[in-house]
Chains A and B, each alone.
Chain A
Amino acid sequence: MATDEHSGIMPAGASSHAAHEAGDPGTAVVIDRGFENPGFPPHRPRVTDEDPTRDRRAQRTVYTLFYLSILGSVWAIAAYILFPMESGDPGEIRLNNLFIGLGSALALFGIGFGAVHWAKALMQDIEIADERHPVGGSDETKAVAAKVFADADRESGFSRRSVIRNSLIGALVAFPLPAIVLFRDLAPQDVVPEELLSHTLWKKGTRLALDPSGAPIKASDVTLGSAFHVIPEGLQDLEHGKLEEKAKAAVLLMRLNPDELHEAEDRKNWSYNGIVAYSKICTHVGCPVALYEQHTHHLLCPCHQSQFDVTKHCEVIFGPAKRPLPQLPIAVDSEGYLIAQSDFHEPVGPSFWERS
């Protein structure tokens, strides 16, 4: 700092022509083609400088704002006591938050507006230029700094004793490795993540059940135009990981006119009398796709507007999804209940690294 010859405040009028013509190291403008520095506009006194009544009024405004701020703080405390959240009624939470918020807002805005108004209307008002000093140090400073580094290197032998230096770098690289191993072990034990992502609770013979009651669904219950939100039977009885399993196994069951289904040959027996079941998890980023339009047979994902055509095995007809929704092959058991023929034939939901 001792060698910083460019800092300092210059009063108005004493323009810095000399410094500009010499070419500041910090400026990139070509000086000889520039125009002349016009200097400051003429000083215009404020009304508070000329009129004592205005000055007093501005002063009154500033301290009133500060007093209002105090009032706001006190009110926020009072509101906390006056509007307690005790009965659990949502209306109480509203009043409590509203009045504490209004008090705190008044407190903060009072300080802010008061301070700015004080500075603008009452503090001393003269134009000054605060010159931007060059970013680089002087040559002497640079030389001193370089010498300090060179001395330190020579005295410590950092460059000369290369074995010590390299072993130190090696030690520093090795130090975070235990953390990586430790944190890797926080992953689920004894399971392969891609296996978890590839399989759901559905298996051969699992009955389709209503979400959330878990009651099994008969094929005859599903009338034309219906949409059922389905979970595998038994999901409700899980003690652990119920939500994780539901997030993979959720299914939307729809009944269409069988004539309207365009089914691939190898999937002809995956539906039953026009009843089809598709994974509800979008193949884009995994939102639940359940906006079913029963006339157009389009499924819309509310998150990013991917659209799937239920009549054509849920192929993507619009939006960012890349793969059709996986279909759950269904059949009917001897009692007339809908059952799954197997798990989904592919992982449900969005892509992941190991997905083939």
Chain B
Amino acid sequence: MKRQMRRTGRRHPLATVALLALGLTFTGGAYAAFSASTAQANVDLTSAATVEEGKKLFQANCATCHGLSAEGTAAGPSLIGVGAASVDFQVGTGRMPLQMSGPQAEVKPPQFTDEQTKALAAYVASLAPGPAIPAADLVEGGGDAANGAELFRINCAMCHNVAGAGGALTEGKFAPELTSVTGTHIYEAMVTGPQNMPVFNDLNITPEDKRDIITYLKYVQDTPSPGGYELGALGPVAEGLFIWIFGLGLIVGITVWITAKSN
């Protein structure tokens, strides 16, 4: 009976799954190709057309909290003078537009394409002078990793962990990990001091020093840990948890085996 049904049926039971997989692959592939092509967008930040486009995007997406001309409201701060770097960081990492209020704005998939982000940045930069988006040669590494490491230990490591793995702050806030952050966004965060991060202006850490810090972070990402698996490089908590569970578990297991009667 069952066999007969299968023979007369038009579809194999797995046909639906195969069709779904095929469809998802195509959609995902097309989306990836599309977003890859837009990521390389080259936008003239000073052109009036870009600023105008940015203004429209701003008024449609940001004005509820930041005010119609970025003057700020009770719900959000003024953006006059924060500069293009701040907008590129907050919007480019998906932190803005804010999804919900909480201890801090969290990273999420960016809501705007690279072109739109640049247009928003151009609009905010046109309101008042502020930190600009850094030049490519400052954010691609290629500096002095040793100098960067020393500066990172002095200025950054207490919050972001010496390996850039991130760490906890007070009342639910945290310093995010830096291993998956682009050089541009790291540079912009240093200049603008997003959220509770302090500002590290160019007189405190020069642009060359910032380049060295990014170089160090890239070095840490690219160099395998000599001590083996890092357990997230989080230090004593992760390592202690590992040895308490697996080390003691092994000892308990061996003890049970030694004392069990052989069959």
Partners in one complex: yes
Q: Which of A168-202 contact B (CB under 8 A)?
A: none
Assess whether A47 is in contact with B263, with CB atoms less than 8 Å apart: yes
Assess whether A93 is in contact with B226, with CB atoms less than 8 Å apart: yes
How far does the alpha carbon of A120 sit from the alpha carbon of B259 in the complex, in Å? 9
Contacts of B196 in A (CB 8 A): 293-296
Judge whether A236 is part of the interface by a CB distance below 8 angstroms: no
Judge whether B49 is part of the interface by a CB distance below 8 angstroms: no
Q: Which residue of A lies closest to B260 (CB)?
A: A120
The stretch among B53-61, B68-76, B181-189, B197-205 that forms the contact with chain A is B197-205
Ordered nearest first, which 4 A-B pairs have the shortest CB separation? A227-B198, A90-B226, A293-B196, A221-B203
The stretch among B93-101, B118-126, B154-162 that forms the contact with chain A is B154-162
Which residues of B are interface residues toward A (Cβ below 8 A)? 150-151, 154-155, 158-159, 167, 169-171, 173, 175, 193, 195-201, 203-204, 223-228, 257-258, 261-263
Assess whether B224 is in contact with A291, with CB atoms less than 8 Å apart: no
Contacts of A315 in B (CB 8 A): none
Judge whether A98 is part of the interface by a CB distance below 8 angstroms: yes
Judge whether A107 is part of the interface by a CB distance below 8 angstroms: no
Chain A interface residue count, Cβ-Cβ cutoff 8 angstroms: 42
What's the least CB distance linking B80 to chain A, in Å?
A: 14
Assess whether B154 is in contact with A212, with CB atoms less than 8 Å apart: yes
Assess whether B226 is in contact with A91, with CB atoms less than 8 Å apart: yes
Q: Which residue of B lies closest to A317 (CB)?
A: B170
Assess whether B263 is in contact with A90, with CB atoms less than 8 Å apart: no
Assess whether A294 is in contact with B193, with CB atoms less than 8 Å apart: yes
In the complex where A120-B262, A223-B201 touch, is A212 in contact with B228 (Cβ < 8 A)? no
Q: Show 18 A/B contacts (Cβ-Cβ < 8 Å), sorted by A.
A: A90-B225, A90-B226, A94-B227, A116-B257, A120-B262, A210-B204, A212-B150, A224-B199, A225-B193, A225-B198, A226-B193, A226-B201, A227-B198, A227-B199, A290-B158, A293-B170, A294-B199, A296-B196
Contacts of A291 in B (CB 8 A): 158-159, 169, 175
Assess whether B201 is in contact with A302, with CB atoms less than 8 Å apart: no
Contacts of A125 in B (CB 8 A): 262
Assess whether A221 is in contact with B204, with CB atoms less than 8 Å apart: yes
Judge whether A160 is part of the interface by a CB distance below 8 angstroms: no
Q: Which residue of B lies closest to A123 (CB)?
A: B262
Assess whether A295 is in contact with B258, with CB atoms less than 8 Å apart: no
Q: In the complex, given contacts A120-B262, A227-B198, A296-B170, what are 5 additional A-B residue pairs having Cβ atoms less than 8 angstroms apart?
A: A120-B261, A211-B154, A212-B150, A294-B196, A300-B169
Assess whether A254 is in contact with B198, with CB atoms less than 8 Å apart: yes
In the complex where A116-B257, A302-B167 touch, is A226 in contact with B200 (Cβ < 8 A)? yes
Contacts of A91 in B (CB 8 A): 223-224, 226
What's the least CB distance linking B249 to chain A, in Å?
A: 16
Which residues of A are interface residues toward B (Cβ below 8 A)? 44, 46-48, 90-91, 93-94, 97-98, 116, 120-121, 125, 210-212, 217-218, 221-229, 254, 288, 290-296, 298, 300, 302, 307, 318
Q: Is the interface of A mostly helix, strand, loop or mixed?
A: mixed
Assess whether B169 is in contact with A293, with CB atoms less than 8 Å apart: yes
Assess whether B228 is in contact with A90, with CB atoms less than 8 Å apart: no
Q: Which residue of A lies closest to B147 (CB)?
A: A212
Contacts of A47 in B (CB 8 A): 263
Contacts of B155 in A (CB 8 A): 229
Contacts of B227 in A (CB 8 A): 94
What's the least CB distance linking A219 to chain B, in Å?
A: 11
How far does the alpha carbon of A46 sit from the alpha carbon of B261 in the complex, in Å? 9
What's the least CB distance linking B15 to chain A, in Å?
A: 47
What's the least CB distance linking B101 to chain A, in Å?
A: 13
Assess whether A48 is in contact with B226, with CB atoms less than 8 Å apart: no
What's the least CB distance linking B237 to chain A, in Å?
A: 12
Contacts of B257 in A (CB 8 A): 116
Q: Which residue of A lies closest to B202 (CB)?
A: A221
How far does the alpha carbon of A90 sit from the alpha carbon of B198 in the complex, in Å? 33
Partner of A46, one of B171, B199, B262: B262
Assess whether B198 is in contact with A94, with CB atoms less than 8 Å apart: no
What's the least CB distance linking A336 to chain B, in Å?
A: 12
How far does the alpha carbon of A221 sit from the alpha carbon of B169 in the complex, in Å? 27
Assess whether B228 is in contact with A94, with CB atoms less than 8 Å apart: yes
How far does the alpha carbon of A60 sit from the alpha carbon of B158 in the complex, in Å? 56
In the complex where A90-B224, A94-B227, A307-B170 touch, is A288 in contact with B158 (Cβ < 8 A)? yes
Contacts of A318 in B (CB 8 A): 170
How far does the alpha carbon of A98 sit from the alpha carbon of B228 in the complex, in Å? 8
What's the least CB distance linking A209 to chain B, in Å?
A: 12
Partner of A294, one of B154, B158, B197, B224: B197
Contacts of A222 in B (CB 8 A): 204
Q: Which residue of A lies closest to B104 (CB)?
A: A295
Assess whether B167 is in contact with A229, with CB atoms less than 8 Å apart: no
Contacts of B263 in A (CB 8 A): 46-47
What's the least CB distance linking B168 to chain A, in Å?
A: 9
What's the least CB distance linking B24 to chain A, in Å?
A: 38
Q: Which residue of A lies closest to B157 (CB)?
A: A290
Assess whether B197 is in contact with A121, with CB atoms less than 8 Å apart: no
What's the least CB distance linking A306 to chain B, in Å?
A: 11
Assess whether A223 is in contact with B228, with CB atoms less than 8 Å apart: no
How far does the alpha carbon of A288 sit from the alpha carbon of B155 in the complex, in Å? 12
How far does the alpha carbon of A345 sit from the alpha carbon of B226 in the complex, in Å? 45
Q: Which residue of B lies closest to A280 (CB)?
A: B158
How far does the alpha carbon of A23 sit from the alpha carbon of B262 in the complex, in Å? 34
Contacts of B200 in A (CB 8 A): 226-227
What's the least CB distance linking A13 to chain B, in Å?
A: 19
Contacts of B228 in A (CB 8 A): 94, 97-98
Contacts of B167 in A (CB 8 A): 302
Most chain B CB neighbours (cut-off 10 Å) among A116, A225, A291: A291
